[in-house]
Amino acid sequence: MAIIEFEIDDVRNITEKELGKLITEIGLEPTPDGKKMKVDVTPDRPELLSFRLLNMALEMYAGRRKASKSDYFYKRDAYLSIDASAAPLGREFISGVVGLGLDLEDNELEYLIDFAEKLSETFGRKRSKIAVGIHDAKKINGSLRYYSGSEESFVPLGQNRSMGFEEIIKKHQKGIEYAHTISRNGYPVLRDSEKVISFIPIINSRATMVTSATSDVFVDITGREPHSVAYAAELFGCLLREMGGEIRSVRIKDRNGTRLTPHGLWRNEKINAESASEIIGTRLKNTDIRRLLARMGYVSLSDGKNIKVGIPPYRNDVFDMNDLIEDVAIAYGYGNIKPARVQNSPYGALRDDSTYLKVSMRLVGAGFNEAINQYLSSIDSQFSKMGRKMEKNGDEGLVMLDYSKNSNFQMLRDSLLPSLLSNLASSANDQMPHRLFEYGKAFGVKNGEAVEWESVCIAISHSKANLSEIRGTIDQIIGLLYKEVTIDRFDDPAFIKGRCGALFYKSNRIGVFGELHPETLRKFKIDEPVSCCEILVPSEKK
């Protein structure tokens, strides 16, 4: 998630009294702060990171505005051309949009720049997936070239002197922060007929700096994945139009041919009133659904028993009818849906002989607190911070998400320990010692099939946490899981060498324990020593 902030006085057609209520009803979390409002935006709606597009969504939800398919009809004559035939590999995709006749006074320029930064940091994965640059279009001379260059120099934003690419990477704040996003095989450069206008994705040139007096804006978007780069151009086309600009296209020539961006095209999908009524749990007519869809920014018309829905170009989160039904439910109001008991659903309870009950009761009795974490995790948490390589042998693998909008959710976890370490980090200000455990599922791929298993993970953190303490804890629970285990030395990069061991059952490694390496603690921002273990729970009683 990301937080956007705006002046309440800048909101159009929505009163201050109803603002917070409407933001909550569309599924976001508002926090008033004097004359300002802060809003926590969910990752599935990147367009709402823009204050102006959020304002537009609120107007539609309140019924004070309706969408039209003519809203994003752009002129097809290109205002600028970009030759990207020599674009750097690994960041070869580029798109752009031009907005003419803008008024960037008051807070409008700040809102525009804030959207570009928030989009690059969240949807753009800290500029590694996409990055956005904003330029004064009147200061661009001739056509543009996007290419993989060698050492050049220009005056970057925030500086009064010319700097080379290598110096920017080593000394400029943005260069230091985003150097990891580029390959040293060549520098991604965007320049016009006279000068460098951007060292992508690090910093723009001062020569094309946008100010509150700027009226014509050129936005470039670059990245490693074509659909995301193209979608970002659509977003900025919608935003610049919402800000009162005349939208003009940018012609891109690359290795795949020539095209214009953005398109401003609406997509079509169908929704069935009976299916929507059954899923939502209340009887809705076609007219009801069309009215609710209009509140969420869609256009629609009846098509027999179905409703044909036009999806605006800024909504890339809508994949099929189910996403439309979700928006219908939001517009209807979850609070207005009457709950119904699930038929023929018996109540469950823990069996007295369940392994979970025995292990958790033993650990709670020993002074541990239970943690419950999400199954979704990140590559950074599961591997980079743990010092472990992202590899599996033979037919084993990881369960990855094909398309993730949030870098924190890229895979199903294959270890519980990183989650527990994150818990320790967030509990840094609580009284020591910290004694946590989690009994939960982890996931992987074996013989081409997704598999899951249960593990128990235990972590102890205080100034004197050591190997003996976690070994004593293991002795308290291991008999509940296995009849006989053996222990041997083991090397795991997450642990201190020589202070780590493995548990074996019938020659199979079923667990690891020890004292965490200081580098692991540093990466998780944990100040005190940690001793911990993770043990596989047998699928059936051994």
What is the C-alpha to C-alpha distance for residues 175 and 163, in angstroms, rounded to an integer?
11
What is the C-alpha to C-alpha distance for residues 299 and 198, in angstroms, rounded to an integer?
39
Q: Quick check: is 341 in a domain?
A: no
Tokens of 43: 């990752």
Q: Which helix H or strand E contains 258, and what residues bound it?
A: strand 257-261
pLDDT tens per residue across span 371-387? 999 999 999 999 999 99
**Does 46 lie in the same domain as 83?**
no
Q: What CATH number should be reported for the domain holding residue 360?
A: 3.30.930.10
Looking at residue 476, its pLDDT comes to: 93
Amino acid code (one letter) for 134: I
User: Could you tell me which of 154, 150, 169 has the C-alpha nearest to residue 205?
Assistant: 154
For residues 511-516, give the mean pLDDT: 97
Total number of domains in the chain = 4
* pLDDT above 70 as % of the chain: 96
* SS percent in the chain: helix, strand, coil, step 5: 30, 30, 40
Count the Cβ atoms, other than its own, within 10 Å of residue 517.
Answer: 20
**Does 186 lie in the same domain as 237?**
yes
**Does 437 lie in the same domain as 292?**
no
Q: Quick check: is 522 in a domain?
A: yes
Looking at residue 197, its pLDDT comes to: 98
Q: Which of 261, 286, 303 is the last residue of a domain?
A: 261
**Does 311 lie in the same domain as 445?**
no
Count of helix runs (H) and strand runs (E) in the chain: 14, 28
Q: What CATH number should be reported for the domain holding residue 85?
A: 3.50.40.10
**Does 409 lie in the same domain as 390?**
yes
pLDDT tens per residue across span 450-484? 999 999 999 999 999 999 999 999 999 999 999 88
Looking at residue 180, its pLDDT comes to: 87
Prior bond of 313 cis (ω within 30°):
no
Confidence of residue 408 (pLDDT cuts 50, 70, 90): confident
Looking at residue 515, its pLDDT comes to: 97
User: Could you tell me which of 36, 228, 29, 187 has the C-alpha nearest to residue 114?
Assistant: 36
pLDDT tens per residue across span 130-158? 999 999 999 999 999 999 999 999 999 99
Q: Which helix H or strand E contains 407, and what residues bound it?
A: none
For residues 486-491, give the mean pLDDT: 94
E strands of 267-364, at which residues?
A: 267-272, 299-303, 306-311
How many angstroms separate the most distant Cα atoms in the chain?
78
For residues 301-326, give the mean pLDDT: 94
**Does 206 lie in the same domain as 222?**
yes
pLDDT at residue 202 greater than cutoff 70:
yes
Looking at residue 287, its pLDDT comes to: 94
Looking at residue 542, its pLDDT comes to: 41
Q: Which of 142-146, 398-402, 487-491, 510-514 has the lowest mean pLDDT?
A: 398-402
Contact 441, 495 (CB under 8 A): no
Q: What is the domain range of residue 303?
A: 267-334
**Does 226 lie in the same domain as 198?**
yes
pLDDT at residue 23 greater than cutoff 50:
yes
Looking at residue 74, its pLDDT comes to: 86
Q: Which of 61, 91, 108 is the last residue of a domain?
A: 61
Phi, psi (degrees; rounded to nearest 5) at 76: -90, 0
**Does 146 lie in the same domain as 36?**
no
For residues 313-328, give the mean pLDDT: 94
Using alpha carbons only, what angle is made at residue 45 by residues 40 and 49, rounded to the nearest 5 degrees? Answer: 55
What is the C-alpha to C-alpha distance for residues 61 and 359, in angstroms, rounded to an integer?
50
Q: Which of 232, 261, 290 is the last residue of a domain?
A: 261
**Does 457 lie in the same domain as 403?**
yes
Per DSSP bridges, beta strands 369-370 and 434-446 are parallel
Tokens of 273: 């009133």
**Does 298 lie in the same domain as 245?**
no
Amino acid code (one letter) for 174: K
Q: Quick check: is 339 in a domain?
A: no
pLDDT at residue 431 greater than cutoff 90:
no
pLDDT at residue 73 greater than cutoff 90:
no
Q: Quick check: is 370 in a domain?
A: yes
Q: Quick check: is 79 in a domain?
A: yes
CB contact set of 200 (below 8 Å; sequence gap of 6+): 91, 131, 133, 146, 182, 188, 189, 190, 220, 222
CB contact set of 308 (below 8 Å; sequence gap of 6+): 268, 269, 270, 300, 301, 302
Which DSSP symbol is given to 490? Answer: -
**Does 256 lie in the same domain as 276?**
no
Amino acid code (one letter) for 10: D
Looking at residue 308, its pLDDT comes to: 96
Q: Quick check: is 272 in a domain?
A: yes
Q: Quick check: is 541 in a domain?
A: no
For residues 220-238, give the mean pLDDT: 96
Q: How far apart are the first and last CA of the chain?
A: 44
**Does 54 lie in the same domain as 19?**
yes
pLDDT tens per residue across span 33-46? 999 999 999 888 99
Q: Quick check: is 256 in a domain?
A: yes
Q: What CATH number should be reported for the domain holding residue 30?
A: 3.30.56.10
What is the C-alpha to C-alpha distance for residues 214 and 132, in angstroms, rounded to an integer?
18
Length, in residues, of the chain: 542
Average pLDDT, the chain: 93
